[in-house]
């Protein structure tokens, strides 16, 4: 049974009404469409898992990832200029292995060396977010000759070390650009290295 709470609504759906109010459609899982009590007609769209759909020049395939009982999608997105991109955030781990990936945007929320059990949010963090070693393992199994960029997402303010996280990821996928996402950051995501 999906776990919905006030925290989920504030965390996962915080800007939902703003985005829909700006006439921007949101594509999500059916559980979220069902749970969110707002009516925006065709702007809030439930899409089935593992069934690709086309949005302009983008081919998008959603798939579920575990997030402490809350139904969350991650996405594989293809565009001719970018290649295949993986977008994974708000997850504990990803059980899939992918081929021919050019871009990986993946959560690296906390490090077990930095988080303390006395943290008031400890259970939520460890049951619902990707630990650095899990992120590193995911990068190892999805490293491939086409990989150009890795962007680490959703780093915890209290339980992460941006410099260490980027260094560890860069050691894992040598020769690939590695970044930690930051507000206002712009990255060119081309599949060609030039």
Q: pLDDT for 40-77, tens place per residue?
A: 567 888 999 999 999 999 999 999 999 988 889 999 99
Residues 159-174 have a mean pLDDT of 96
| Beta bridge partners of residue 28, listed in sequence order | 46
Predicted confidence (pLDDT) at residue 193 exceeds the cutoff of 80:
no
Predicted confidence (pLDDT) at residue 157 exceeds the cutoff of 80:
yes
Predicted confidence (pLDDT) at residue 107 exceeds the cutoff of 60:
yes
Q: How far apart are the first and last CA of the chain?
A: 47
pLDDT at residue number 12: 64
- Tokens 């260094």 sit at which residue? 167
* pLDDT band for position 164 (cuts 50, 70, 90): very high
Domain boundaries, the chain: 1-46, 48-180
The CATH code belonging to domain 48-180 is 3.60.15.10
Cα–Cα dist 133/194, whole Å: 31
DSSP β-ladder status, 72-79 and 83-88? antiparallel
Cα–Cα dist 11/48, whole Å: 23
Asked which of 6-10, 67-71, 164-168 is least confident by mean pLDDT, the reply is 6-10
Predicted confidence (pLDDT) at residue 162 exceeds the cutoff of 70:
yes
Residues with Cβ within 8 Å of residue 77, at least 6 apart in sequence: 58, 59, 60, 61, 84, 85, 86, 87
């Amino acid at each position: 049974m999906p776990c919905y709470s006030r925290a989920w609504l504030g965390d996962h759906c915080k800007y939902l009404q703003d985005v829909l109010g700006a006439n921007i459609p949101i594509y999500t899982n059916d559980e979220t469409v069902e749970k969110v009590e707002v009516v925006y007609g065709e702007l809030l769209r439930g899409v089935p898992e593992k069934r690709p759909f086309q949005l302009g020049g983008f081919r998008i395939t959603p798939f579920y990832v575990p997030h402490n009982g809350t139904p969350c999608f991650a996405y594989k997105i293809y565009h001719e200029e970018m290649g295949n991109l993986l977008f994974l955030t708000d997850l504990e781990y990803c059980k899939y292995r992918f081929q021919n990936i050019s871009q990986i945007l993946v959560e690296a929320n906390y490090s077990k060396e930095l988080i303390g059990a006395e943290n008031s949010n400890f259970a939520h963090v460890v049951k619902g977010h990707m630990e650095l070693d899990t992120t590193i393992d995911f990068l190892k199994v999805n490293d491939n000759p086409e990989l150009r960029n890795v962007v680490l997402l959703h780093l915890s303010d209290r339980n992460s070390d941006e410099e260490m996280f980027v260094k560890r990821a860069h050691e894992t996928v040598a020769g690939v650009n590695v970044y930690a996402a930051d507000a206002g950051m712009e990255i060119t995501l081309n599949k060609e290295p030039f």
